[in-house]
A and B are shown apart, each in its own frame.
Chain A
């Protein structure tokens, strides 16, 4: 019996990660005044959808995707709840508190970044820009608020490269050839 063809959960995970990251940066660089869209997208596409994609990665045997998508899905849900909590005065987080929240996620990202270097070039590039973006946001919360804008543009590049990987999986399958290459791993 032929094996049933399964979809790749990464396309949803990368889609939600990229889109929510991109919309937050629209806010961070000042184009989008409100943080409202980030809250709702963070709960649903970046949060719920990416987290489900992450949980589905378990069955594919991919620990990296399992941890990354579930982790960042949880990140977006937690961030959206942080905004909502501040709004409704439940467990209010100050700028410094959110700074420490981001520092913890920077360490988490650093571990995955080491792994990404051995996967392929596109993954290594995405995680390198993500790690730099987190570090810039950390600094923005501890005395260099002007770096929020720098982080904004930098993380737009990160979101685009996550979407590149999404496009790769979808388009290479549809076109039946290597339309978009992944690039060689940075560490062999």
Chain B
């Protein structure tokens, strides 16, 4: 109920703000998710799970809040070797992840797990199909760990499909996005 009202209020606010936003950030109208959107969504998901605890996991399987354009937030645990939630691949939920290999031979979840160890999280490059496509594309995902009561090692991640950006420049942008929050009073 409360969520419904919140969604309604958000939708109303979006409708009012949409014309202005479209002028300011041409990105918001593009069909592909942007770097800033991915960072913002991952941080929002980390905060959401911190606040809501384990009861929040199922939200990532069901809610449209975590899917936008061609991107989405997924939740996993490296210590448990398990996909906790995935909005587009229910077949992966509850399954082991660390042994997964993409078509270029990358152990993608081993890389995601290593990158997420950094306090500000990190970016990882691998090959994964866009939503609705069968063929894999180059994907770069931002991943971060988040503390959840009575649940060890929870990681959240989301990515963009892009052929040009490097992990190094993306790490710098993520660091810039996270740092001001830390210095806030």
Contacts and interface: CB of A to CB of B under 8 A. Distances in A.
Bound together: yes
Contacts of A83: 53-55
Contacts of A30: 77, 79-80, 152
Contacts of B82: 33
Contacts of A146: 152-153
B83 to A, nearest CB: 11
A89 B55 CA distance: 9
Interface string A5-40: 000000000000000000010011110010100100
* Number of chain A interface residues as a range: 20 to 34
B102 interface: no
A148 B150 contact: yes
Interface residues of B, number: 20
Contacts of A38: 150
Interface in B33-52: 50-52
Interface string B136-156: 000000000101111111000
Given A145-B145, A148-B152, A87 B55 contact: yes
Contact of A145 (B2, B51, B55, B147): B147
Contacts of A149: 79, 152
A95 interface: yes
A34 B160 CA distance: 31
Interface string B94-108: 100000000000000
Interface of A: 24, 27-30, 33, 35, 38, 83, 86-87, 89, 92-96, 98-99, 140-141, 143, 145-146, 148-149, 152
The 4 closest A-B pairs by CB, nearest first: A87-B55, A86-B55, A94-B51, A148-B152
10 contacts: A28-B152, A29-B152, A33-B82, A86-B55, A92-B51, A92-B52, A98-B149, A140-B147, A141-B147, A148-B151
